[in-house]
Amino acid sequence: MVGFMNEEAFRRTVETGFATFYSRSRNKLWMKGESSGHRLVVKEISTDCDKDALLVKVEAIGPGVCHDGYQSCFYRRLENGAWVVSEPRAYDPDAVYGGKA
Amino acid sequence: MVGFMNEEAFRRTVETGFATFYSRSRNKLWMKGESSGHRLVVKEISTDCDKDALLVKVEAIGPGVCHDGYQSCFYRRLENGAWVVSEPRAYDPDAVYGGKA
């Protein structure tokens, strides 16, 4: 998954060991998995050459990271010019998010 | 590495098979490796649930992807609160970029 962290989200990620983001649409911090239980346990954090991106390696708790019900958010692959779903659904998002996903 | 693609960069990436980006600071398209030779041969492209990010899996031509001389741009790892270089330099960026990196 790709998410936005501000400084506070980064600090909480490091302190708690659970990946935490900042929602720019809802203007609030959110720990990934706070409603679904699908938390991300941080294993390693790297930053890139210009220090404006983080690569956070995690152990994912639960069947999937994506709120659409897939293991990965990157569940569509380009094939002959079209986006094709490339993995089976890992869980039912309605059952987990109650239609709020 | 992380880079920005606009629609034209995405189209050229698909058509040429080499990862191509759009520089928002220089306002121009750039094929990764156009000066260094370190091109990225596209193997697979996926997009995420909200379709605002691409994951491009590549075969990297040359010793390193990062203009700082490392195999990966994510060459600094967080260790006890400090960023520590976590891999050896793969090439001399001055020799490749001639001090223009």
Place of tokens 């001090």: B99
User: Residue A98: pLDDT band by 50, 70, 90 thresholds?
Assistant: confident
Output the average pLDDT for chain B: 95
CB contact under 8 A, A1 and B78: no
Q: Average the pLDDT over B3-7 and give the result.
A: 98
Which pairing describes strands A54-60 and A76-79: parallel, antiparallel, or unpaired?
unpaired
Q: Average the pLDDT over B43-50 and give the result.
A: 98
CB contact under 8 A, A77 and B2: no
Q: Average the pLDDT over A16-45 and give the result.
A: 97
Query: Which pLDDT score is estimated for A70?
Result: 97
Q: Average the pLDDT over A79-88 and give the result.
A: 97
Q: Which amino acid is at A23?
A: S
CB contact under 8 A, A78 and B53: no
Q: Average the pLDDT over A20-34 and give the result.
A: 97
CA B92 to chain CA centroid, nearest Å: 17
DSSP B12: H
The sign of the CA dihedral B62, B68, B74, B79 is positive
Measured between CA atoms, the residue of chain A closest to residue B85 is A46
Q: Greater confidence, B99 or B25?
A: B25
Query: Which pLDDT score is estimated for B99?
Result: 62
Within a 10 A sphere around the Cβ of A100, how many other Cβ atoms?
Answer: 9
CB contact under 8 A, B48 and A2: yes
Output the average pLDDT for chain A: 95
Q: Average the pLDDT over A68-78 and give the result.
A: 97
User: Residue A77: pLDDT band by 50, 70, 90 thresholds?
Assistant: very high
Rounded to two decimals, the pTM is 0.93
B58-73 burial, b at 16+ Cβ within 10 Å, e below that, comes to bebeeebbbbbbbbbb
Whether B55 and chain A come into contact, CB under 8 Å, resolves to yes
3-state secondary structure of A12: helix
The sign of the CA dihedral A27, A29, A31, A35 is negative
Whether B53 and chain A come into contact, CB under 8 Å, resolves to yes
What's the token pair of residue B86? 């976590």
Q: Average the pLDDT over B51-60 and give the result.
A: 98
Rounded CA Rg of chain A:
15
Q: Give the lowest-confidence range in A22-31, A80-89, B91-100.
A: B91-100
Whether A48 and chain B come into contact, CB under 8 Å, resolves to yes
- pLDDT at residue B101 tops 60: no
Q: How far does A71 lie from chain B, in Å, by closest CA? A: 11
Q: Average the pLDDT over A11-28 and give the result.
A: 98
- pLDDT at residue A78 tops 80: yes
CB contact under 8 A, B83 and A53: no
Reported as half-sphere exposure (CB side, CA atoms, 13 A), residue A82 has a value of 2
